[in-house]
Amino acid sequence: MTKELDWNNLSFGYIPTDYNVRCRYTDGHWGEIEVSDSEYINMHMAATCLHYGQEVFEGLKAFRGKDGKIRIFRLDENARRIASSARGIKMQPITEELFREMVIKAVKLNERFIPPYGSGASLYIRPLELGMSAQIGVHPSTEYLFMVMVTPVGPYFKEGFKPTNICIMREFDRVAPKGTGRWKVGGNYAASLEAGEKAHELGYSAVLYLDPREKKYLDECGPANFFAIKDGVYITPESESILPSITNKSLIQLAQDMGLKVERRHITIDELEHIQEAAACGTAAVASPVAEIDDIDTGKKYVVSQDGNPGPVVTALYNKLRGIQLGEEPDVYGWNTIVE
């Protein structure tokens, strides 16, 4: 299978691997870890994940480094975030210890699918938890399935690390105020599908959502967080409806290390006229530079990249983070988990 893969030209999509790992919560406790070679899940047709949206997931990556070692980036942060998501929709949170053990086991079992250093590809890790109790009636499940699947992936955006145009469309909200936006649940992404498809049809890579209450402040950028560089300041939206991006958190630390001031605050649309650089950031894309932001409703165009190239700060941040993930830069904060 791996001999047939063109590591340098992988898309960001699903490719079957050898194994996944699973663990079930029944009778008030998590059971033993199971290894499966099946790509399918048996569940009751009345499972709460199907009817009431009790489903949370994560996304993280493993890399084969310059030194040949396998690194999983920010494993512990993902463990904490999926537990927070589970608590947010009344699911039984997976423990950090079990999350860590299962992710590492899934990576080891599928080691042959980890792309080689220099290919630009990585092993995408998708942990997910599902409510499994058969019930009709809106209340939390008593049984859960937690599993970890992996697949090798190329860049999220086919353009690679090049500026793309994004758009603002006021007719769509990603989430409701004080809703599920701060948690990584499937429903948030279902709510973004129509807007995302419309943006792609118009030639844009993503939608830059506005806050769902006043339509005045910047929110998330499609499936990613948004940040901008303005006069030596790294600014990123503050909102209860934004998923706390682990990539954004990492970039903020690196920005501070570079001497930039960081502001997490409300950002008005009008401020887009004065930013020098911008990007969408997340596990899949790391940092995807923005060339232009078009406000569909007003016809206003905010040109971010004057020459069609990524800005110097976004480029430096991207290269630094990628360097840490690949073992090219010192991991001074201990973000990587080395798989022995």
Over residues 116-166, the pLDDT tens digits come to 999 999 999 999 999 999 999 999 999 999 999 999 998 776 666 899 999
- Helix or strand holding residue 236 (H, E): strand 233-237
At 334, the pLDDT band (50, 70, 90 cuts) reads very high
* pLDDT per position as a tens digit, 18-54: 999 999 999 999 999 999 999 999 999 999 999 999 9
How far apart (Å, rounded) are the C-alpha atoms in residues 143 and 200? 39
Given a contact cutoff of 8 angstroms between Cβ atoms, the answer to whether 70 and 106 are in contact is no
* pLDDT per position as a tens digit, 245-274: 999 999 999 999 999 999 999 999 999 999
Cross-strand partners of 152: 123
CATH 3.20.10.10 segments of the chain: 164-325
Q: What is the CATH class of 2-153?
A: alpha beta
Non-local (6+) Cβ contacts of 180 within 8 A are: 88, 89, 187, 188
How far apart (Å, rounded) are the C-alpha atoms in residues 180 and 163? 30
Percent of the chain with pLDDT over 90: 92
Given a contact cutoff of 8 angstroms between Cβ atoms, the answer to whether 90 and 176 are in contact is no
- The pTM of this model reads 0.96
The DSSP symbol for 115 reads P
CATH 3.30.470.10 segments of the chain: 2-153
Question: What does the pLDDT read at residue 159?
Answer: 64
Per-position DSSP letters for 11-57, written without gaps between them: -SS----S-EEEEEEETTEE---EEE--S-----TTBHHHHS--EEE
How far apart (Å, rounded) are the C-alpha atoms in residues 130 and 8? 34
At residue 174, the 3 state secondary structure works out as coil
Given the candidates 3.40.50.1860, 3.40.50.11890, 2.120.10.10, 3.20.10.10, the CATH classification of the domain at 164-325 is 3.20.10.10
